Structures are given as C-alpha cells and as structure tokens.
Amino acid sequence: MTRTLRTVLIAALAAVTLAACSTGEADVAASPPAFDGSHVSASSFAAAAEVEGVTVIDVRTPSEYAEGHLPGAVNIDVEDATFADKVAQLDPAADYAVYCRSGNRSRVAVDYMTQAGVTHTVGLEGGIGAWTGSIEK
C-alpha cells in the first residue's frame, strides 16, 4: 500500500469516526422506536412517549402509581382482575408506551396486550428505575 493511499484511508476513517461521534442537535434526542412490543432504553422510551397520540401506561399498582409516575401516564394495574377488561377497551390501532417498576410486569402486560390484538406497544427496559426524566405525583 502506498503512503498516499494509506494517508487517504486514515483520513477517511478519521472523518467517519468523528461524524459518528458528533453531538449535533439530531443526536441529542433518540428517535422513537418501532412500537413492536420490544423493551427499549429510557432515552428511546422517552422519544416514544413524545410521539403524538401515544398513550403512556403505568402497569404498577395504584399505590406505586401514587408514589410517582411518568407525566401523563394512565394507571392500568397488570395484576388487577380488571386488566383484561381495560385492555379490551384500548384502541388496537393506537400506540402505547408501557412501563412498571423494573420491566418485568411491563413485559407481562405487553405480551398480554399483543395476544389481545393491541400490537403497537413499546416497553421501558429497567422500568421506572431506569427513567431519567420528570416524575409526577
């Protein structure tokens, strides 16, 4: 490999590396994830929660919800006997961002919702414990 070609390749690699590490405005906020039933990072979940028309669902108990919840979240306790009835009332074409305390109950909720035909969901990996945004009481 000639010295000139090596220099060009190193310069190109450096340019690509620097571009990938840029802190431009587009990099500040995460893109909303696909509402495909997956669990995502707090930043991706925050982006999903900001999508127009999305409903944020807290599947913890009412007492946990009262201690603090994500802004605008509605409480549908996955462990309550009425959970199935409440899911049946949801618009199956709408988008839902679902969370709990650690991510375990939201997985159960998302799985149930998917089986019930509510398939446009995303969960918060790590639950509210991973959340870095504001909390309402």
Q: In angstroms, what is the C-alpha Rg of the chain?
A: 20
* pLDDT, averaged across the chain: 85
Domains and CATH numbers, the chain: 30-130 (3.40.250.10)
Please list the active-site residues: 100
Total-model pTM: 0.78
pLDDT at 24: 39
Location of structure tokens 């802190």: 23
pLDDT at 18: 40
Location of structure tokens 């679902």: 98
pLDDT at 32: 81
DSSP conformation class of 65: H
Confidence band, pLDDT 50/70/90 cuts, at residue 15? very low
Q: Tens digits of per-residue pLDDT, 38-87?
A: 999 999 999 999 999 999 999 999 999 999 999 999 999 999 999 999 99
